[in-house]
Amino acid sequence: PIAPWSVPGQEGADAQALAQARAALPALDASDAAMAGVLAALAGPQPAQALVRSDRFVRRFVATVDNLSRPRASAMLWPVHPTGERFTVQELAAEGGTAIAQANSARYGPAVALLQRLDAAELARSYRQHYPLFQQAYEELGYPQAYFNDRLVAVIDHLLQAPEPQAPRVRLMPVRGQVPSLQPWVRYEFEDAQLEALSAGQKILVRIGPQHARLVKAKLRALRAEIAAKAPAAGPEDAAPRDQ
């Protein structure tokens, strides 16, 4: 684990609180209602309902965290709803070419605002309280001997390394085949080979724009500090009770 659960002088109290938390946890397959309540308490009922997918939330969160440092992170598995607006670009009249439109970042505004409303300390507390569920979901992904909290911290560190280019250039990839594309906005890739080689998570931070990316990174740093200061105790051998 990144950090021990207990702090000097509080081992007994921490162990008792952790045992009580585990006993109160629902089974993973029955955790949607509980997680919806947690999210509503953290972010407010309306923003949480509008932006967060409460069905299979724990599994969605764990799978997406695991995928963010990889080349692909399927939107079908995201714990949040994708933005409704389309990806927008602007033509560069003077120098030629195409770049991400300055207005494109506005489509991510509600999600970034929701993240800003979350208190890092409260978020970490709820995460620790429900950690056995996240650990179980991680084991189900195929990591029975791994500690999800270590993976979460590693992915946060990875995301914090994302570059912050201003209006990066993009290009529309040609359609390979005889059937025309009905969604050309999903066929853009970065012109810069280094940007195109970024992970799925780092590409998201580039697409949302540097201002939003800095806000997201600040929240990630705060959350990382809270988690590293007092990491969950439940490891692979100590997950939530299995679903019957």
Among 133, 153, 148, 149, CA closest to 58: 133
pLDDT at residue number 5: 40
Of the candidate ranges 12-21, 31-40, 61-70, the one whose mean pLDDT is the lowest: 12-21
| Element housing 100 (H / E) | strand 98-100
CA–CA separation, 186 and 237 (whole Å): 42
pLDDT at residue number 35: 94
- Both tokens of 20, joined, read 């009580």
Q: What is the dihedral of CA 53, 46, 185, 67, to 10 degrees?
A: -30
> In Å, how far from its chain's centre is CA 59?
12
- Mean pLDDT within 120-125: 96
| Element housing 89 (H / E) | strand 89-91
User: pLDDT confidence of 3, banded at 50, 70, 90?
Assistant: very low
User: For the segment 80-91, what is each residue's pLDDT rounded down to a tens digit?
Assistant: 998 877 888 899
Reply yes or no on whether the pLDDT at 243 is more than 70: no
- What's the mean per-residue pLDDT of the chain? 85
> In Å, how far from its chain's centre is CA 191?
26
pLDDT at residue number 197: 97
What are the φ and ψ backbone dihedral angles of 163, each rounded to 5 degrees? Answer: -70, 165
- Mean pLDDT within 176-185: 51
3-state secondary structure of 37: helix
Work out the percent of the chain whose per-residue pLDDT is above 90.
61
Reply yes or no on whether the pLDDT at 11 is more than 50: no
CB distance 25 to 240 below 8 Å: yes
pTM for this predicted structure: 0.83
CA–CA separation, 131 and 149 (whole Å): 9
CA–CA separation, 204 and 73 (whole Å): 10
User: pLDDT confidence of 169, banded at 50, 70, 90?
Assistant: very high
Residue ranges covered by each domain of the chain: 11-173+187-228
- Both tokens of 147, joined, read 């500690």
CA–CA separation, 42 and 226 (whole Å): 16
CA–CA separation, 9 and 15 (whole Å): 12
User: pLDDT confidence of 175, banded at 50, 70, 90?
Assistant: low
Among 197, 171, 196, 169, CA closest to 184: 171
- Mean pLDDT within 45-57: 88
Q: How many CA atoms lie within 13 A of 89 on its CB side?
A: 20
